[in-house]
Amino acid sequence: MAALAKVVHISKAVNNVSKLFTNFTLSSNVISTTASVTRLTTRIPTCANQTACFHTTLRRNDIMEFFDDPKNWGETKVKVGRAWKKDELRLKSNEDLHKLWFVLLKERNMLLTMEHAAKEEHEIFPNPERKDKVDESMENLEEVVRERNRAYHLLETGQDGERSGKVVTSQLGLRYYYRFSEHKIPKFMNSGWRERYKFGSRGHAVRKFLTLYREKLWQTKRKAMVRERNHVMHLIKRFPNMDPEAIKKHYPNVNLEKLAQKSKSRGHYAPR
């Protein structure tokens, strides 16, 4: 009985293998003879006489891929377009966005290489704003992809799908938003993490630092307010008949009625 069961098992395996080979769809030029197989292996098949072909792009491992077009070498200005806008990227499919991301990444690597080469040769890198346009395009593309991911997760799970986090305090007493991430080693077993964060955010030194830091922030804000106020008074002095609503629209934090009474706002003209 054991031998009979073994024979039945082997026969089923042979039938499965034969069905697997019969399910393949072969082209008409493939003949089950030794001579035809030999001829098939000696020539390269084309997609015209095949039912299924694999399409791959050409592999270009040349180092010149990291450099700009040779016709732009030595030029002082290169004609380029603007950055991609979010409204334009929202019209593209996910596949097109995936391709465009790698195109922009390749362009960014090329620009960084050309910028470094120009510095080494003490030459001027033409149109350095190209890198800023590529960075802006990549940021807009990433934001569009995140919008689609949030919409998908909200529709399927009711959550936005973004990594959760919380507001934490650094060792200097500064508060910031920390996004949770996975770690291989737990916190209580990670000696490197405990050594790096063994100091807390309390103490006389931290309080002194926070006091000086807040003072610096206030001084920066106060200087900006004074600079904006002086600019408005200069505008009133030069253009006494300009529209006050336009000034309030551009400078909402300035008290226009109070500044109009200042002596610096009065020009050297006789009032009517």
pLDDT digits (tens, 9 = 90+) for 232-270: 998 888 888 888 888 888 888 888 888 888 887 776 655
Copy the structure tokens of residue 60.
């270009």
Q: Of the candidates 98, 133, 162, which is a domain's last residue?
A: 162
Q: Of the candidates 41, 56, 71, which is a domain's last residue?
A: 56
CA distances from 175 to 64, 172, 180, 208 (A): 46, 9, 15, 16
- The answer to whether residues 111 and 188 belong to one domain is no
pTM of the model: 0.51
Q: Is residue 8 part of a domain?
A: no
Residue 49 has pLDDT above 60, yes or no: no
Evaluate whether 176 touches 170 at the Cβ level (below 8 Å). Answer: yes
- The answer to whether residues 143 and 77 belong to one domain is yes
Q: Of the candidates 152, 179, 202, which is a domain's last residue?
A: 202
Q: What contacts 231, CB < 8 A, 6 or more positions away? A: 251
**Distance linking the first and last C-alpha atoms of the chain:** 123
Backbone angles phi, psi at 209, to 5 degrees: -65, -45
Q: What range defines the domain where residue 49 resides?
A: 25-56
d(CA 236, CA 226) in angstroms, rounded, equals 15
Q: Is residue 86 part of a domain?
A: yes
Q: Is residue 92 part of a domain?
A: yes
Q: 């003879």: which residue's tokens?
A: 33
Average pLDDT of the segment spanning 73-100: 88
- Give rounded-to-5 percent helix, strand, coil for the chain: 55, 5, 40
Copy the structure tokens of residue 118.
């120009």
